[in-house]
Amino acid sequence: MSYRPPVRDYAFLLRDVLELERYANLPAFADASMDTVDQIIEEAARFTGEVLAPLNSVGDTEGCRWSPDFTVATPTGFKDAYDQLVAGGWPALGADPAYGGQGLPYVVSLAFSEMSSAANMAFSMYPGLTHGAYSAILAGGDQAQKDLYLPKLASFQWGGTMNLTEPHCGTDLGLLRTKAVPQGDGSYKISGQKIWISGGEQDLTENIVHLVLARIEGAPAGTRGISLFIVPKFIPDADGNPGQRNAVKCLGLEEKMGIHGNATCVISHEEATGWLIGEENRGLTIMFVMMNEARLGVGMQGIAQAEAAYQAAATFARERLQGRSLTGPKNPDGPADPIIVHPDVRRMLMDSRAIIEGGRAFLFWTALHGDLAQASPDEAVRQKGHDYMALMTPVLKGFLTDRGFSVCSDAMQVHGGAGYTEHLPVSQYLRDVRIALIYEGTNGVQALDLVGRKLAADGGRGVTTFFAEFDAFVADNQADEALKPFTEGLARGKAELQEATLWLMQNGIANPDNAGAASTDYMHLFGLVALAYMWGLMAKAAQAKIAAGATDAIYQEKLSVGRYYMARVLPETAGRLAKLKAGADTLMALPAEAF
């Protein structure tokens, strides 16, 4: 019943759909031949499946324990697993070779991240946040900071955190009060209270590097006066080893619905010593480097939990005997048929696969564009990569976590009463995944980022390019009978998405509330059509393999699940379009006091 990493699906995506080998001439891809990638994925599957997955329910049951000496103990086994993670060199997969990394493409390390998250979301958040801190220092730190911190973070020898939220400010960072006082020696004294700091204290690493948003004395109010600081738990000594204990401590842990194995800390900075990263008052810019990477990672978490939950549901549905098929017994010698014969059970499993496999393709396809944005020698390819990363990030985060939560809920439903108990893993998946709709910017914030910023960026260049890509796919493949459901569905979906986009342009400027009111429906419409495109790409790749004589069952399965997506998932677009075109009037009609 435990999680089995979907290695076959990764190979299909990387080899057949994204054709990674096309990029062998690029620096990051040079060491990523498909044989190497296969090997890495096999080994990652073993580590995540055998080491991390068995600790998932331990983490849920035990949770983390805070002590009055301000230390936090992670669940039994986490420290040992973490040591294995570091020893195995996993952290360094995607990191810069200049700082001890292997420099593999993002799209490859993403497979490892998904497996880790599916096996044990709470555990995988510790290295996840550390990688975020690594990226922020890489993006904004000076050379001395990079030399001091990056190797320790790239190896996960030290942990990293993001210190953003304060009790009175989450989404609206402009309100933040934590203050920084310059000491004249290049350092600052940081004072303030931060909440919901994942991994803010733990017993896994010898040091913790907090990246802290604070306001330098005298800085402007609002978001233009926020700077980013490095506040290490232990101040590195002259040799770069953990030295003096800094005045930053964990005052307690949050009790949460899920991710119990991850320590969610209240962190108090009490004139803690910190160092500015980048320029004064430009902290949010660097933080958004970290945040954007984190957002794609959260979308991945939605799919990862969905995959784990789907697997549990599929196994249960194949094994649980209950009732008979509507079309005659399928297990006539048994007392009843397995419940997978029932169309409504099948519906939940097929919905799950259509979203998981389509969503995974969307994640990997976008991550590849992220790689190309860095590595391609072609300016146009790099620009498209940047545009797509910016445009897709809010959709990946918001759409895939909303859908991931639904998949986990459906997985519980397939289990019936057993799913509601804590003896089976599905309740944990549902409780754990729920945070993904909230953190790193709620899904509503993602939707607003999409309609308010990303769509219009650079005169709508990203979305225009994306639409043109749909058109090209339809034009290139509409003569292919086998791909007809895909080209027809995509053409219809694209027309609806385009209509919605036009409506937004016309009505969102006249009344910004129209854009806000439309945002979530638009994000789902966008996600649904993007997945239709992904299913088109996958169907085309599968069809080509079949035409070339491949007999592996996965190719027919991809065509089947893809046709299901087009027939029975995509039609949701019609309602989304109608709702968003209804505008903000009925939505904003009531006065606030009426609620």
Residues 394-433 contacting a copy of itself, CB under 8 A: 405, 409, 412-413, 416-417, 419-423, 427, 430-431
In this structure, what DSSP letter does residue 219 have? P
DSSP 234-254: EEE-TTSSEEEEPSEEEEEE-
> From CA 39, how far away is CA 33, in angstroms rounded?
10
The two tokens of residue 436 are: 């993904």
Q: CB 514 → a copy of itself: shortest distance, Å?
A: 8
Figure out which of the listed residues 379, 549, 551, 595 binds a copy of itself, where binding follows CB under 8 A.
595
Cross-strand bridge partners of residue 66:
72
Coil, helix or strand for 260? coil
Give the binding range for a copy of itself (CB under 8 A) out of 36-44, 114-122, 227-235, 252-260. Answer: 252-260
Does 65 help bind a copy of itself (rule: CB under 8 A)?
no
Nearer to a copy of itself, 240 or 343 (CB): 343
Does 563 help bind a copy of itself (rule: CB under 8 A)?
yes
Does 536 help bind a copy of itself (rule: CB under 8 A)?
no
313, 352 contact by CB (below 8 A) = yes
Does 456 help bind a copy of itself (rule: CB under 8 A)?
no
Does 575 help bind a copy of itself (rule: CB under 8 A)?
yes
Nearer to a copy of itself, 11 or 433 (CB): 433
Could you tell me which of 131, 247, 275, 281 has the C-alpha nearest to residue 198? 131
Does 491 help bind a copy of itself (rule: CB under 8 A)?
no
Buried b (16+ CB within 10 A) or exposed e, 485-517: bbbebbbbbbebbeebbebbeebbeeeeebbbb
Buried b (16+ CB within 10 A) or exposed e, 11-49: bbbbbbbbebeebeebebbeebeeeebeebbeebbebbb
Q: CB 86 → a copy of itself: shortest distance, Å?
A: 29
Does 551 help bind a copy of itself (rule: CB under 8 A)?
no
Give the binding range for a copy of itself (CB under 8 A) out of 67-75, 92-100, 325-333, 375-383. Answer: 325-333
Nearer to a copy of itself, 385 or 527 (CB): 527
Does 356 help bind a copy of itself (rule: CB under 8 A)?
no
Does 273 help bind a copy of itself (rule: CB under 8 A)?
no
Does 531 help bind a copy of itself (rule: CB under 8 A)?
no
Does 220 help bind a copy of itself (rule: CB under 8 A)?
no
Nearer to a copy of itself, 214 or 253 (CB): 253
Figure out which of the listed residues 35, 69, 255, 481 binds a copy of itself, where binding follows CB under 8 A.
255
Nearer to a copy of itself, 131 or 431 (CB): 431
Does 4 help bind a copy of itself (rule: CB under 8 A)?
no
Q: CB 557 → a copy of itself: shortest distance, Å?
A: 5
Catalytic residues: 440
User: Crossing angle of helices 121-140/78-87, nearest 10°?
Assistant: 50
DSSP 478-547: TT-GGGHHHHHHHHHHHHHHHHHHHHHHHHHTT-HHHHHHHHHHHHHHHHHHHHHHHHHHHHHHHHHHHH
Q: Is 231 left (phi over 0), alpha (psi -120 to 50) or beta?
A: beta
Does 592 help bind a copy of itself (rule: CB under 8 A)?
yes
Does 223 help bind a copy of itself (rule: CB under 8 A)?
no
Figure out which of the listed residues 175, 502, 544, 547 binds a copy of itself, where binding follows CB under 8 A.
175
Please give the angle made by the CA atoms of 391, 396 and 400, to the nearest 5 degrees.
155
